[in-house]
Amino acid sequence: MAIDYSQLIPNNVDLSSDRRLQRALENWQPRFLDWWKDMGPDGTSAFDVYLRTAISTDSNGWANFGYVKMPEYRWGIFLADRDPNREIAFGDNKGKPAWQDVPGELRSTLRRLIVTQGDTEPASVEQQRLLGKTAPSLYDLRNLFQINVEEGRHLWAMVYLLHAYFGRDGREEAEAMLERHSGDPDKPRILGAFNEATPDWLSFFMFTYFTDRDGKYQLASLAESGFDPLARSCRFMLTEEAHHMFVGETGVGRILQRTCELMKEHRTDDVRSLGGIDLPTIQKYLNFHFSVSLDLFGQEASTNAANYYTQGVKGRFLETRIDDDHLLVNANYEIDTVEDGRIVRKAVPALQALNERLRQDYIDDCAKGVLRWNKTIERAGIDFELSLPHRAFDRQIGAFAGMRVSPTGKVLSEAEWNAHKDHWLPTDEDRAYVTSLMGAAVTQPGKYAHWIAPPARGINNQPVDFEYVRFN
Ligand SMILES: [Fe+2]
Ligand SMILES: [Fe+2]
């Protein structure tokens, strides 16, 4: 269905046929815009940004490029097309038609899942609020803003579901989305990783590589949901999410490339004296962002996860492509967990292990980008390998929370941990160094900050020296 842009709120859900819903969302819209003004990218309202806007959800229409002032971005409600024959693919309701409305007994479960997902979207915009001031190029600045407007749209996607299907409770939850704020001591965002600061561009690229990728896996499992409007929302969000992870992967890759150039050119490991980011520091940031993101998948063995699956509200990654009974009642799955202070591998009922299974899919995906980063280092002839730390490293949630575990998975005493932790996680000094590189934004087309290489190609076939942002 084409997107109706004549409406105040662009949408492909025939919003004008439901006046009550339309009015409720039109009431929420100015609050969203106030939030964008107060908590979105700071001081940017006059900028013309070369942005991608969806004009339909098919492959031709979802990526339309042009200059837009961000407060005028057409945030809207776009669901992937409905498949009238879609059936629930798993759990007790397997084979039944997908629900077009919320089953009464699943109301609070679905609301909670939608609120938790929705809360992450504006959170990341808040976390990235000040990054524009130190952008390493116009290309990067534009990518930051693209991600910001799309996270705003993802909030719209979830708020639409709350308004359309959850009545008064849903409307209250939609209000609360704009009242919690990232890092706010009184009203924080729901999940830990979304209350961390994103103070510099190395953090930003690591965040978009690792934490946006958690988003991909959560959205993908909600895209399997028996609740069809949620599934269709998430499917369209996934197409946008891919760009966010691209920004992270290529951003880290370009920093690595620059670091390697400096190392080779000057025949030294001491990249800091040359104004670059040294490889060990990049590894420490990787360790931090990976482990924080692993926490987002929840407990290794989880009754909630089992219930979500059995009830048909949240599936596995690419559920329909998995060759098994999609019930999992008699299946087992091996997880790493802790017994007597040791990490052990143990078979548990597969239904309880669904968080861990999703986390494993995520880890496998993360590892692919690390391989590509290592290729960049290898091509430069430098003997250094980045690696993902062990899943038990520096965890705050799940079986490993509070344990001291090295990046290779060795359980440590407190004293051993304290002796090494500064080699594994960014220290205050590392953070101060990285922050010190983040000078005033580089605003000349085609110019890039010293610590990062230009991209291999521009956005939408534009050159790398294209004027991606005009400041007016
Ligand atoms: Fe998102
Ligand atoms: Fe994202």
Query: From first to last of its 472 residues, what are the pLDDT tens digits of the chain?
Result: 677 777 899 999 999 999 999 999 999 999 999 999 999 999 999 999 999 988 777 776 677 899 999 999 999 999 999 999 999 999 999 999 999 999 999 999 999 999 999 999 999 999 999 999 999 999 999 999 999 999 999 999 999 999 999 999 999 999 999 999 999 999 999 999 899 889 999 999 999 999 999 999 999 999 999 999 999 999 999 988 999 999 999 999 999 999 999 999 999 999 999 999 999 999 999 999 999 999 999 999 999 999 999 999 999 999 999 999 999 999 999 999 999 999 999 999 999 999 999 999 999 999 999 999 999 999 999 999 999 999 999 999 999 999 999 999 999 999 999 999 999 999 999 999 999 999 999 999 999 999 999 999 999 999 999 999 999 8
Half-sphere exposure of 445 (CA within 13 A, CB side): 12
* C-alpha closest to that of 13 among 172, 229, 313: 229
Element (H, E) at 125: helix 107-127
* C-alpha closest to that of 317 among 224, 408, 208, 381: 224
Q: Quick one: DSSP state of residue 241?
A: H
Question: Contact 377/368 with Cβ under 8 angstroms?
Answer: no
Q: From ligand 2's centre to the CA of 320, what distance in Å?
A: 24
Q: From ligand 2's centre to the CA of 147, what distance in Å?
A: 6
C-alpha 433/C-alpha 435 separation (Å) is 5
C-alpha 92/C-alpha 85 separation (Å) is 18
Q: Note the ligand closest to the C-alpha atom of 147.
A: 2
Q: From ligand 2's centre to the CA of 212, what distance in Å?
A: 5
Q: Quick one: DSSP state of residue 170?
A: H
Question: Contact 255/372 with Cβ under 8 angstroms?
Answer: no
Q: From ligand 2's centre to the CA of 130, what distance in Å?
A: 17
Q: Structural domain boundaries of the chain? A: 15-470
Q: Find the distance separating the first CA and the last CA of the chain, reported in whole Å.
A: 36
Q: From ligand 2's centre to the CA of 254, what distance in Å?
A: 20
Question: Contact 127/182 with Cβ under 8 angstroms?
Answer: yes
DSSP letter string, 263-294: HHHHT-S-GGGGTS--HHHHHHHHHHHHHHHH
Q: Note the ligand closest to the C-alpha atom of 120.
A: 1
Q: From ligand 1's centre to the CA of 445, what distance in Å?
A: 28
Distances in whole angstroms, Cα of residue 137 to Cα of each of 6, 43, 160, 461, 468: 35, 17, 35, 17, 9
Q: From ligand 2's centre to the CA of 173, what distance in Å?
A: 21
Q: From ligand 1's centre to the CA of 123, what distance in Å?
A: 10
Q: From ligand 2's centre to the CA of 447, what distance in Å?
A: 26
Number of neighbours of residue 1 by Cβ within 10 angstroms: 15
Diameter over CA atoms, the chain: 68
Distances in whole angstroms, Cα of residue 142 to Cα of each of 135, 450, 452: 9, 18, 16
C-alpha 443/C-alpha 151 separation (Å) is 24
Q: Note the ligand closest to the C-alpha atom of 152.
A: 1
C-alpha 106/C-alpha 307 separation (Å) is 11
Q: Which residues lie closer than 8 Å to 103 by C-beta, 6 or more apart?
A: none
Domain 15-470 has CATH 1.10.620.20: yes
Burial of 31 (0-12, 13-18, 19+ CB in 10 A): middle
Q: At what angle do helices 354-379 and 212-222 cross, to 10 degrees?
A: 140
Q: From ligand 2's centre to the CA of 295, what distance in Å?
A: 17
